């Protein structure tokens, strides 16, 4: 959801509530048509407004609108397609400053976050999606592919999915973006709305990725798996749901011996 879309949704939602108060109970189509006439918006934008009004519980306060609420439940505007619960206002694009943490510290930071939130299975596999939800984050479209992360405030943010990518790659995208959120927003104590573009400084990107490495492959469990599976990066990658290249890089950082071909 872009900031412009959110503002449009808020205007359309407020117009819908005003129309219902003025005209009383009505059908879904009639209500949307009234909003379109009043605000000169499109039908899609009027539907955005309906979703905004529902999530803010605005139309439930209008007498006689139970049927309208029920009808709106049949629309395809679910939470994951469009979340209009937050209008950030003047969120600004920011270029992260590099963290003073060393590379090993960044990996340890990622793992510490995972352990604090108890996201690891006994084999070390990380529940990244569960962590995202616990942190107040959402994984949903933000309009432009150039946007990686929209922060509304601490504990309230949205990660933009990659336009193309496997489930594993999307999961890695979430982990790396959480690295940016912790390393470049929470740790330096920033406040307020921020928008992070997908392409930002190389060093800051590397730091976020190092955080993700520790988050996705905790050291002790990874070391055990690497030894038990004879350094087979494909099989180890499957344990942690990462690529073989990721597994090999993590092993090298931990000083583990590379697999010797038979």
Amino acid 1: pLDDT:
39
d(CA 149, CA 128): 16
Amino acid 40: pLDDT:
76
184 with 99: CB under 8 angstroms? Answer: yes
160 with 148: CB under 8 angstroms? Answer: yes
> What DSSP designation does 130 have?
H
- Asked if pLDDT for residue 211 goes beyond 90, the answer is yes
d(CA 9, CA 170): 28
Amino acid 216: pLDDT:
98
- Token readout for 183 is 């390393």
Amino acid 43: pLDDT:
66
- The residue whose two tokens read 């594993």 is 168
Q: What's the whole-number average pLDDT of the chain?
A: 78
Between residues 93 and 137, the one the model is more confident about = 137
Amino acid 143: pLDDT:
65
- Asked if pLDDT for residue 262 goes beyond 70, the answer is no
- The residue whose two tokens read 């439930």 is 60
pLDDT digits (tens, 9 = 90+) for 168-181: 999 999 999 999 99
- Asked if pLDDT for residue 22 goes beyond 50, the answer is yes
Mean per-residue pLDDT, 29-44: 71
Between residues 255 and 154, the one the model is more confident about = 255
Pairing of strands 156-159, 137-139: parallel
Residues recorded for the chain: 262
Of 27-41, 101-115, 202-216, least confident by mean pLDDT is 27-41
Q: Residues of the chain with pLDDT > 70: what percent?
A: 66
Mean per-residue pLDDT, 12-33: 65
pTM surpassing 0.85? no
Mean per-residue pLDDT, 202-215: 94
- Asked if pLDDT for residue 85 goes beyond 50, the answer is no
Buried b (16+ CB within 10 A) or exposed e, 119-149: bbeeebbbebeebbeebebbbbbbeeeebbb
Place 187 in a pLDDT band, splitting at 50, 70 and 90.
confident
- Asked if pLDDT for residue 246 goes beyond 70, the answer is yes
Amino acid 146: pLDDT:
76
Cβ–Cβ contacts within 10 Å for residue 255, how many? 7
- The residue whose two tokens read 């290249």 is 245
Of 9-18, 127-136, 214-223, least confident by mean pLDDT is 9-18
Place 79 in a pLDDT band, splitting at 50, 70 and 90.
very low
Which residue intervals of 117-201 are DSSP H helices? 128-134, 167-181
d(CA 13, CA 26): 15
Inter-CA distances, 143 with 34, 75, 161, 172, Å: 27, 20, 10, 20
Between residues 44 and 121, the one the model is more confident about = 121
Place 62 in a pLDDT band, splitting at 50, 70 and 90.
very low
């Amino acid at each position: 959801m872009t900031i412009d879309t959110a503002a449009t949704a808020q205007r359309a939602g407020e117009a819908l509530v005003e129309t219902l108060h003025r005209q009383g109970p009505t059908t879904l189509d009639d209500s949307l048509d009234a909003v379109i006439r009043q605000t000169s918006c499109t039908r899609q934008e009027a539907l955005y407004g309906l979703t905004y009004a529902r999530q803010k519980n605005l139309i439930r306060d209008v007498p006689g609108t139970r049927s309208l609420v029920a009808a709106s439940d049949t629309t395809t505007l679910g939470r994951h397609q469009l979340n209009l619960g937050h209008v950030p206002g003047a969120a600004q694009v920011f270029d992260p400053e590099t963290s003073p943490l060393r590379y090993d510290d960044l990996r340890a930071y990622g793992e510490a976050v995972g352990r604090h939130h108890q996201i690891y299975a006994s084999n070390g596999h990380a529940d990244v999606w569960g962590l995202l939800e616990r942190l107040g984050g959402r994984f949903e479209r933000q309009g432009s592919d150039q946007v990686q992360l929209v922060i509304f405030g601490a504990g309230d943010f949205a990660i933009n999915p990659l336009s193309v990518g496997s489930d594993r790659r999307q999961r890695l995208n979430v982990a790396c973006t959480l690295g940016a959120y912790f390393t470049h927003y929470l740790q330096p104590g920033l406040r307020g709305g921020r928008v992070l573009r997908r392409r930002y400084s190389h060093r800051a990107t590397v730091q976020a990725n190092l955080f993700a490495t520790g988050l996705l492959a905790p050291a002790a469990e990874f070391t055990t798996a690497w030894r038990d599976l004879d350094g087979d990066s494909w099989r180890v990658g499957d344990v942690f749901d990462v690529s073989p290249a990721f597994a090999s890089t993590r092993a090298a950082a931990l000083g583990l011996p590379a697999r010797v071909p038979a």
